[in-house]
Structure 1
Amino acid sequence: MKYNELMNALNKLKEFCNKNVLNFVVVGSVGYKNGESTEDCDDLDCVIIYDDVFKIESFPYIGEKLYHLSVESLKNNEIDLFATKFKIGEVKISIDFISIDYFDKLAKGKPCEKSEFLRKMTDAEERPINEYYDFYGNQLIYNKTKLKSDKFNIYILPKFIYEKDIFYSGVLHNKFMYNPQFLVVKNKEILDLHGKLLKNYVSFYNLQKQRKEKIDIIKSVRNWDRFSNESKYFINNLFQLE
């Protein structure tokens, strides 16, 4: 995507979040590349963290039916988060909406030697599989479970997978691990929670390293060669690799 088109999309999203007192985080390739060389980025992957779901109601890029069904499903504890995909100009955008309460659970829920899952409602048809990598660089193909709610999809996705004594980190954790860019922060506690999430992951990795030979956090990081120098430093410093 072109840099000026990316900036236009980011400014529109930041403006909405500032106006509605929401937290806005850029993750994925645009996040870990720090806006560098955006031509090879497929889309803009973001997370909006809210303290009140009704602040999302006026978001101009979410369908009214998806929003109201998501609110009802959250209330009934049928889902953990919701998401949508859309375009601003030529920029393809994916946004996950998560509550501060759920981010708190995510941050304080320590990685462990068992599989844990989350439920995401979306209006998108996603790829039927995800790829995850262990600390040796081995790939696991995860076949998504998809449920229907009205015309929308609920995907069952892993927070973590622990299979045959091997650990794989799920996509939402990875989004917050790989140097996310907190562009709008209205609830300062989310920065503390992010720090807690990182600390818990590092502690788990260090315990794994004590009992397993030759594991390497870098081997579990997809697209490491595309990370900016700043993001590589972030990971190296976090895990004290240098």
Structure 2
Amino acid sequence: MVNITGIVDEVARLDALRALDMLDTPPEAEFDAIAAGARHLFGCKFAFVSLVDADRQWFKAACGLEPSETPRDVSFCTHTIAADDLLVIADTREDPRFATNPMVAETPFVRFYAGVPLRVTPPGGGASLPIGTLCVADDKPQDPTREKLEILAGMARVVEALLEARRTSKENLQLALDRQEALADMARTHRLLQHAERMARIGSWRLELESGQLHWSDQTYTIHGLAPGSREQLDTAMQF
């Protein structure tokens, strides 16, 4: 496996990846469409939205290859995130890093690869980190034009936006659930307090210091023979 320690903070990178909660999720049309578009652009056999985990690369979208993941130690995309930049290999047989790679020497006989890192903001903010790639590959050598590579990079930015949107949606949902639970806890506490007041025949009140507004519990109104909701001023209430 390529050692990326010192190039990319691997612990932070994996935290950023897992915060997306995207690994091992079902296919989604948006990611599939981008992978298909990239394959068509380069006229090649394979295209992937690849997320690089600790010991595997998992494909959120895959065109032309059946497995949903491959070991990281044979992953071309590990080299892409290590460089944190566009990686183009026109002919893998002429590159000593890949000439003996099982993906080159055996099925699917990869000869060409181009990958763009996908970067996302880690939890808590900070500089974005590479968590995967948008990449294309073929079983024939290829020397792509700069224009095609620029389009591929632009498509990678769209994938990044989708990933960030998924995470933001998840975070907002969690905030809403937390708020709902907090409100439910407050309502339960209020009901228990009202029940305790009725049982003990005592009341309670609360004063807002800034506005001077007084809030009585229902039992306090009952004790003083007033209709619930009556607005009593502080000086009047103190006379009871």
TM-score, normalised by the number of residues in structure 1: 0.24
**Greater C-alpha radius of gyration:** 2
Larger strand proportion of the pair: 1
Higher relative contact order (CA 8 A, sep 6+): 1
